[in-house]
């Protein structure tokens, strides 16, 4: 079945630095979704990408969908303490949304 993998599993970032987290699917996706879960919270939908090569920005967050629609990335610039949490990507599978294991981000002030 379809697998969605995310790297890295953990990302420790100095406040103010940039970082990127990656999502890879074993199959071509019709869309890719990104969610954020704050510590102790629940996953919250951030964005959906549909088109090959699509790039969307939300303030300091830049999301990209690969040309082959099998991978995606999330780039955060000038990381802030509010960026702490786990970022999940998710892609449509056979009968469900397949979530990656997530990238857990911690920020050093």
Residues that bind another protein (CB under 8 A): 30, 33, 41-45, 48, 88, 92-93, 95-97, 99-102
Closest distance of CB 16 from another protein, Å: 29
Identify which of residues 82 and 94 has a Cβ nearer to another protein in the complex: 94
Closest distance of CB 44 from another protein, Å: 7
Closest distance of CB 83 from another protein, Å: 19
Identify which of residues 16 and 41 has a Cβ nearer to another protein in the complex: 41
> How far does CA 38 lie from the centroid of its chain?
14
Q: How far apart are CA 12 and CA 29, in angstroms?
A: 29
Beta-bridge partners for 60: none
Identify which of residues 84 and 99 has a Cβ nearer to another protein in the complex: 99
Q: How far apart are CA 75 and CA 96, in angstroms?
A: 26
Identify which of residues 70 and 80 has a Cβ nearer to another protein in the complex: 70
Closest distance of CB 42 from another protein, Å: 4
First to last CA, the chain: 41
CB neighbours (10 Å) of residue 14?
A: 10
CB neighbours (10 Å) of residue 108?
A: 11
């Amino acid at each position: 079945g379809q697998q969605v993998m995310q790297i890295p599993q953990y990302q420790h970032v100095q406040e103010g630095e940039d970082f990127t987290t990656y999502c890879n699917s074993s199959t071509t996706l019709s869309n890719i979704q990104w969610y954020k879960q704050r510590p102790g919270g629940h996953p919250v939908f951030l964005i959906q990408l549909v088109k090959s090569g699509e790039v969307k920005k939300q303030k300091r967050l830049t999301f990209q969908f690969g040309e082959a629609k099998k991978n995606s990335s999330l780039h955060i610039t000038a990381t802030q303490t509010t960026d702490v949490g786990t970022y999940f990507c998710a892609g449509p599978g056979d009968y469900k949304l397949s979530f990656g294991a997530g990238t857990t981000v911690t920020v050093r002030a």
